[in-house]
Structure 1
Amino acid sequence: MSQPVDLGFGISLIDLYDLQTPHRTGAYVFREEEVTIIETSESPSIPYLLKGLEALSIDLRDVKNIIVTHIHLDHAGGAGLLLQHCPNARVFVHPKGMRHLADPSRLIQGAKAVYGEKFDALFDPIVPIPEDRLIVKEDGETLQIGKDRTLTFLHTPGHANHHFSIYDEKSNGIFTGDTAGVFYPQLLSYGVELYLPSTSPNQFDPEAMQTSLKKFMAFRPERIYFGHFGMSTHVQGVWEQLLRWLPIFVQTGHEIVNEQKDQSFTEKTEAVFKRLFNIIQTFLRKQQVPDDADVYKLLQLDLQVCAMGLVDYAENKKR
């Protein structure tokens, strides 16, 4: 297990080893007297989060705020389990996500439909959160932490309708969850920075995503804190890459749906995945990234889920 990383401004990053993979999901911890955690990943990641808090010498009784950017299980699935260890904490969630944390039965049903027999190993247990420990934040509302830190909640759909992001004035940074895509720090050793949109089903909306990105840009942030994974200070490069890759992803989805009208959803999804993977691999080869680089395992996982969202979006547009 890696040690928490100090990102400056009183913020630490704990690696949560989603899918038993380093640098996949992380929790951001504000180390003030009112300890605040952004993102929990799923329940199998909670032992890593607890060990990280211990390494930071944080008493679990001092954890006051747990914030989840959205209710997808790789971001919020472990919130209920974490709350059992933090007697004085409450959980902050988008208004459209609150009922699913209080009663996660639909989240569990949906995940089992996708992951089948793998569900227990990946996500179990998903613990309901008592409603009196859930707090909703509307667009533009704030949370004061200690004397000199204010967090502002921004409703940022595109990846999911139940998504908010958090602007931290002190670091001039935004915790973007999945709305600003995925950062692949595994490529930094090759001198490559890669930021790709996250287009998972079934609420992916490219127009809403672009609107949310413009909302981020209006703050002129100096740091982007990604749900997957880590912080980037090359903010302009983040925007440029996302706005370049997003139309490529969407166009690929439309092309496959139009070309393969008689194929099943699964066959279309596989075709979108293969075409996108080929496009990105060609791009990375030009950057001298070898074909056996570890990042490809993550890219395959992410692009398979992205492909599902792209086919779903393209088919809904046709209808």
Structure 2
Amino acid sequence: MTENDKAQIRDLGDEVYLIDTYMADYDGITAAYLIRSERPCLIETGTARSAPAVIKALSYLGVGPHDLATIVVTHIHLDHAGGVGDIAAAFPDAEIVVHERGAKHLADPKRLLASAGQIYGPVLEEVFGLLRPTDAARIQAVDEVDVIDLGGGRTLTSYHSPGHAKHHLGLLDSATGDLYVGDAAGLYMPETGTMKPATPPPDFDLDSSLRSLGLFRQLAPARLLFSHFGPARHTSDALERAAEELRLWVDAVRLSRATTPELEHAVAAVRDRTRARYADLAAMPDVDAKFEALNSTETNVAGILRWLDKTKG
């Protein structure tokens, strides 16, 4: 393994490792996590294109083909679960855990890929690759609350946390108090401490999102582990900030929509409303650009507009 490959891995303590999936060749944008417990568990896989790098990192961390016990995805969006089929094939003894609303799409991803194709068009395969089917017999579907055995008395409890997606899970490690938040708390940019919401269509729902953030606060986690990107320790402040960002974006889009339903008008309104708020991020254009590529303002505003239309504003 080269020094560059080793830089892909960060030891977070207590046998928890962040693995940078190098989504679309960007570093520091999408993370998978290994809990190297008695029953090793991978949380998130990254895209299908990221799978070879993730498999290589697991091998470097001593996880052989028959060692990985569980693969868990917080939700089935392709930046989080696109590599499930490839990684499941490389680790044939691993059980795949997903919310019940997403299970059928991992077994038969045709509809999921068709939907993603409508959004991303010809760049779908270039950016994400294609999600391979997973044997349905290996998929464990969970609902509201469930427990995953990590061995040695250590567990990972899954909590249904919709709002970003109907099939979203938060995951709490009993040994560390780490809460894997997926996209339910939005994006965290460690370079500046900036947080932004993740509100894409078709599932975004403000009320569900705020309830999920309230649930996360009740869990009193020691640390938040963001899929985008990395650990945050000031958990109460971060969760409150996540809720604040959601309300601010929705308010800006709602006011814009009262004047015109045009997407471009709402995008401009959000950018104007948040310009000072995100000044530190704007001062780092490379960081700003890579997170915008992952989580564009246009896509998030489109999700909010869709929700407003469904709820009659």
- Scaled to the shorter chain, the TM-score interval is over 0.9
8 Å Cα contact 1:61/1:88 also seen in 2: yes
- 1:309 corresponds to 2:303: yes
Query: Which residue of the partner structure matches residue 199 of structure 1?
Result: 199
Structure 2 residue matching 1:228: 3-state secondary structure = coil
Q: Which residue of 1 aligns with 2:290?
A: 298
CA contact (8 A) 2:188 2:194 kept: yes
Shift of 1:135: 0.4
Is 1:275 matched with 2:280?
Answer: no
What does residue range 1-319 of structure 1 map to in structure 2 within 5 Å?
1=5, 2-187=7-192, 193-261=193-261, 268-285=262-279, 287=280, 291-301=283-293, 302=295, 303-318=297-312
Letter of the 2:303 partner, please give it. Answer: G
Structure 2, unaligned runs of 5 or more: none
Partner secondary structure for residue 7 of structure 1: strand
* AA matched with 1:71: I
Distance (whole Å) between structure 1 residues aligned to residue 8 and residue 145 of structure 2: 34
Encode CA deviations 1:82-127: one digit per residue, 9 max, x unaligned.
1111111111010111111111111110111111111111222210
Alpha-carbon contact 1:4-1:55 (below 8 Å) kept: no
Pick which of 171-180 and 118-127 moved more.
118-127
Corresponding position of 1:190: none
For 1:176 and 1:300, the matched residues in 2 are separated by: 20
Partner of 1:151: helix, strand, or coil? strand
Answer yes or no: is the 8 Å Cα contact 1:277–1:300 preserved in 2.
no
Counterpart of 1:28, as a letter, is Y
TM-score norm. by structure 2 comes to 0.93
Moved over 6 A (4+): none
8 Å CA contact retained: 1:186, 1:294: no
| Separation of aligned partners in 2, 1:296 and 1:76 | 24
Letter aligned with residue 214 of structure 1? G
**Partner SS state of residue 108, structure 1:** helix
CA distance in 1, matches of 2:275, 2:37: 42
Equivalent pairs counted in the alignment come to 306
Once the two structures are TM-superposed, the CA of residue 29 in structure 1 deviates from its matched residue by 0.1
SS of equivalent residue, structure 1 residue 152: strand
1:155-208 deviations in whole A, cap 9, x for unaligned?
A: 001101111111111111211111111111232xxxxx1122211111111111
Q: 1:290 to 1:105 in 2, by over 3 A?
A: closer
Q: Following the alignment from structure 1 to structure 2, what is the Cα–Cα distance between the partners of residues 247 and 146? A: 40
Letter in 1 for 2:213: L
- CA shift, 1:243, in A, is 2.2
TM-score w.r.t. the length of structure 1 is: 0.91
- Per-residue deviation at 1:292? 4.9
Alpha-carbon distance change, 217 to 305 in structure 1, aligned in 2, over 3 angstroms: same
SS in 2 for 1:211: helix
Question: Could you tell me whether the CA contact under 8 Å between 2:181 and 2:225 is conserved in 1?
Answer: yes
Cα RMSD after superposing both structures: 1.6
CA–CA separation in structure 2 for the residues paired with 1:278 and 1:257: 15
Is the CA contact 1:13–1:26 (under 8 Å) kept in the aligned structure 2?
yes
Query: By how many angstroms is 1:139 displaced?
Result: 1.8
CA distance in 2, matches of 1:208, 1:284: 25
